[in-house]
Amino acid sequence: MRRQPLFWLLIFGLSVVSTLQAQQSNSELVQISPPAIRRAEPPPMSFTLEELEKRGDELRAEKDYLDALDYYRAVLSKKPNSPSIYNKAGISELLMQRYKEAGKDFEHAIHFDHQYADAVNNLGVIDYEGKKYGKAVKQYEKAIKLRPDSASFYSNEGAAYFGKKEFEKASEAYAKAIDLDPSILERTSHNGISAQLPSPEDRARFDYIIAKLCAKQGDKDRSLQYLRRALEEGYKGIDAVYKDPEFAGLRTDTRFTELMAARPPAVQE
């Protein structure tokens, strides 16, 4: 065996030490999940199409996406022109981060139903995950034209505009989402959209915009909740809260006065 030069041995040793030190000092390491495995029995030949789809839905709800996909594929083998099953299969692929395969499934769904707004929206989600925010906006706009009463589509459009740092357009999209469903952001914002924003500054701006929208809607409780988040995340433009007309009603609330007087310390990352 050839001896490695001393230089490379030293580099290797330092690399190992640095890695171990980083692992010991960083309490927020991301653990890579193992590849998906099958846990359920294969789709029985005796199952009807309805039973196969129902079982696939159950497995997807249990986050057994690979097994769910087997059942959806079993349906498609007998009913190859079902847009809803292609869409469900695409969602399973998307949740496993198989974006290319998911995209093909959503495209198949649209091929069999050109008015399938959910599948169009889901193509936008793939673009958003790939940080292709401009393409995502176009997909969401198509979905909105097909179904303009969907709060989720507007919320997704707002997220994409936020990714592009087009904050006024993001605010307009979120306002429409809240008009359609006042609770939409409770389900998707802090654990979804804002968690994906690249910097604490962007997350803080996001929370301030949502606080402003909630205040405009007269929802003081939610406005204060998001305003507190913006403060904790160190939003630099927080003093605008005393000037923005949307907060006029909130400024008379004693909870607002107490919150701004306390000024929670910004969370550092």
The sign of the CA dihedral 209, 212, 213, 219 is positive
pLDDT digits (tens, 9 = 90+) for 91-117: 999 999 999 999 999 999 999 999 999
**Terminal Cα-to-Cα distance of the chain (whole angstroms):** 47
* Percentage of the chain modeled with pLDDT above 90: 61
Q: What is the pLDDT of residue 217?
A: 87
Mean pLDDT value across the chain: 83
Distance CA 43, CA 92 (A): 16
Provide the pLDDT confidence category of residue 6 given band limits of 50, 70 and 90: very low
**pLDDT of 14 strictly over 80:** no
**What would the DSSP string read from start to end of 19-74?**
HHHHHHH-TTPPPPPPPP---SPPPPTT--HHHHHHHHHHHHHTT-HHHHHHHHHH
User: What is the rounded average pLDDT of the residues 194-199?
Assistant: 51
Q: Reply yes or no on domain 46-114 having CATH 1.25.40.10.
A: yes
Give the type of residue at 183: S
User: What is the rounded average pLDDT of the residues 43-62?
Assistant: 94
pLDDT digits (tens, 9 = 90+) for 125-166: 999 999 999 999 999 999 999 999 999 999 999 989 988 989
* Percentage of the chain modeled with pLDDT above 70: 79
The SS3 assignment for 235 reads: coil
**pLDDT of 18 strictly over 60:** no
Q: What is the pLDDT of residue 187?
A: 65
